[in-house]
Amino acid sequence: MLSNYLPCQEAPKHAVPELRSLVGKRNVEDNASVSPDSQHACGYGLPSLTAIRSSLGYVGWAHCQLNSKQLVSSGAHMVMGFSKALLRLLMGLALLAPLPLHAEVVAIRVAHQPGLSYLPLMLMERHGLLPKHGRALGLSDLAYKSVLVGSAAALNDVLLSNSADIIAGAITVMAALSDRARHLDIRGIAALNCDAFYLNTNKPDIKTLRDFGSSDRIAVSAVKLSIHAIVLQMAAEKEFGPGRHTELDALTVSMPHPEAMASLLATGTEVTAHITTTPFKKMELANPRIHRVISSDSLVGGRATGAMVWTSGKFRAENPKAYAAFFDALKEAIDIIRNDPDHAARVYSEMENSKLDPVLIRALVADPEDIFTMVPEHTFDFVDFMQRTGRLRGRFNGWKDLFFPEIHSQPGS
């Protein structure tokens, strides 16, 4: 019933044609009186005058009041100061008035771990790229807020607890959440970089996966969840055969990359191996005690997306301009890395407070093996493995199922 409507700016869309029908009809209650101060539907099954006054605003309402007073003073036939025709017109204008627009966020909170993989986000923050592209789209105060997270296991928690809007991490972490919370429509925005994951060890007698023993410990950022843990499972399946992908899971321990690297380089710790990415993999290999056992490119046929960014369908739908501004800002950040790697390396050193040799950081930023790009590469290889081995329930058919449409025009995989 129209008489049950909330104030007109909250009225359902189907009210408009019904209102037009009512306005066009002759009111059969010609002798009915209407109080302009009524808080109800004035007996017509339509919004109250209070609602109309709220929708028309001060100027429109004052104009209508002036017209009504002029009519009264001229002796026009009125019912309680308003003609029924004028009342119907006001009601029509109220319901046909544009609905208020949803206010977009004033800041985008981006959660990520430490590491060179997240250099594009550091440049976005340092150069104010998100506010810049927000202003270009009419968002005058869009801010970037960094949320530093210690491990991959905590990434999705900050999204589910509404402590972050966008998450940066690996495809395996995103796919796990997307599969578990389908109602949230979790999908990727774009990649951040493409990389090869290394399994490094400090034990000279470990040459293959078969050489690991029960006393060894392999550090990954999140057991059974992080892309490093999935790489180990993929390698185990290749080494030991189908159905034995979890062969080395009992040896894995969850540990942030900086801590895992420190443990691997130290003596007397339980960590004897570490699956990691840039810059940690190259920093570890700089020590003559460390050597590489496997690389992920041998598993998927080339380098793969190491880090990416994702969000919920709700955030994207409710904040289309902010989402577009983030997408454009990310593109500009990656362009800066490609065009000025020296500057990008300095930004990394400063924002990470890195003690590394600037020459090494510059070499890592410009390393042709590890590139910064928005184009997803081999993301579906990891997800397909997770579906095939029962880690995911199996609803993704290709990489485009994993990402929102804005990146679909790129040659991803």
Q: Give how far the C-alpha of residue 274 lies from the chain's centroid of Cα atoms, to the nearest Å.
A: 29
- Look up residue 367 and give its DSSP letter: -
C-alpha to C-alpha distances, 158 to 31, 254, 311, nearest whole angstrom: 62, 18, 11
Residue 412 forms part of a structural domain? no
Model pLDDT for residues 388-399, shown as the tens digit of each residue: 999 998 789 999
Residue 55 forms part of a structural domain? yes
Which residue has 């899971």 as its token pair?
249
Same domain for 116 and 236, yes or no, is no
Q: How confident is the model at residue 45, as a pLDDT? A: 41
Q: How confident is the model at residue 150, as a pLDDT? A: 73
Amino acid found at 132:
K
Model pLDDT for residues 227-247, shown as the tens digit of each residue: 999 999 999 999 999 999 999
Same domain for 284 and 371, yes or no, is no
Res. 104: pLDDT tops 50: yes
Give the pTM: 0.73
Per-chain mean pLDDT for the chain: 81
On whether the CB atoms of residues 94 and 47 are closer than 8 A, the answer is: yes
Model pLDDT for residues 197-223, shown as the tens digit of each residue: 999 999 999 999 999 999 999 999 889
Containing structural domain, residue 228: 198-299
- Give the closest residue to 71 by CA, choosing from 62, 81, 60, 84: 81
C-alpha to C-alpha distances, 81 to 36, 48, 61, 74, 77, nearest whole angstrom: 8, 16, 14, 12, 9
Boundary residue ending a domain (96, 127, 159): 96
d(CA 34, CA 311): 52
Average pLDDT, integer, range 349-376: 89
Res. 77: pLDDT tops 60: no
Q: How confident is the model at residue 157, as a pLDDT? A: 87
d(CA 158, CA 173): 13
Give 19's pLDDT tier (boundaries 50, 70, 90). Answer: very low
As a whole number of angstroms, the longest Cα–Cα distance in the chain is: 107
On whether the CB atoms of residues 115 and 43 are closer than 8 A, the answer is: no
Same domain for 70 and 17, yes or no, is yes
108-112, 155-159, 329-333, range with the lowest pLDDT = 155-159
CATH number at 236 reads 3.40.190.10
Which residue has 């090494």 as its token pair?
360
Boundary residue ending a domain (96, 115, 144): 96
Q: How confident is the model at residue 27, as a pLDDT? A: 39
Better-scored residue on pLDDT, 388 or 61: 388
Res. 80: pLDDT tops 50: no
Q: How confident is the model at residue 334, as a pLDDT? A: 97
Same domain for 312 and 290, yes or no, is no
d(CA 391, CA 108): 31
Q: In the sheet where 186-195 sits, what is the strand order?
A: 143-148, 107-112, 166-169, 304-312, 186-195, 371-372
Same domain for 190 and 319, yes or no, is yes
Same domain for 309 and 182, yes or no, is yes
d(CA 403, CA 50): 46
Task: Classify burial at 46, counting beta carbons within 10 Å of its beta carbon; exposed 0-12, middle 13-18, buried 19 or more.
Answer: buried
Q: How confident is the model at residue 290, as a pLDDT? A: 97
Residue 102 forms part of a structural domain? no
Better-scored residue on pLDDT, 134 or 84: 134
Average pLDDT, integer, range 86-107: 62
Give the number of residues written for the chain. Answer: 413
Model pLDDT for residues 300-310, shown as the tens digit of each residue: 999 999 999 99
Same domain for 214 and 246, yes or no, is yes
What tokens does 83 get? 């003609």
Across the strands, what pairs with 79? 82
Average pLDDT, integer, range 129-143: 96
Res. 362: pLDDT tops 80: yes
What tokens does 394 get? 């199996």
Across the strands, what pairs with 200? 274, 292
Checking DSSP bridges between strand 186-195 and strand 371-372, what pairing results, if any?
Answer: antiparallel
Give 90's pLDDT tier (boundaries 50, 70, 90). Answer: low
Q: What is the tally of structural domains in the chain? A: 3
Same domain for 264 and 252, yes or no, is yes
d(CA 362, CA 195): 16
Residue 101 forms part of a structural domain? no
Boundary residue ending a domain (274, 299, 324): 299
d(CA 271, CA 287): 16
Model pLDDT for residues 277-293, shown as the tens digit of each residue: 888 898 899 999 999 99
Res. 30: pLDDT tops 70: no
Q: How confident is the model at residue 394, as a pLDDT? A: 75
- Give the closest residue to 286 by CA, choosing from 307, 311, 261: 261
Residue 357 backbone zone (phi > 0: left; psi -120 to 50: alpha; other: beta): beta
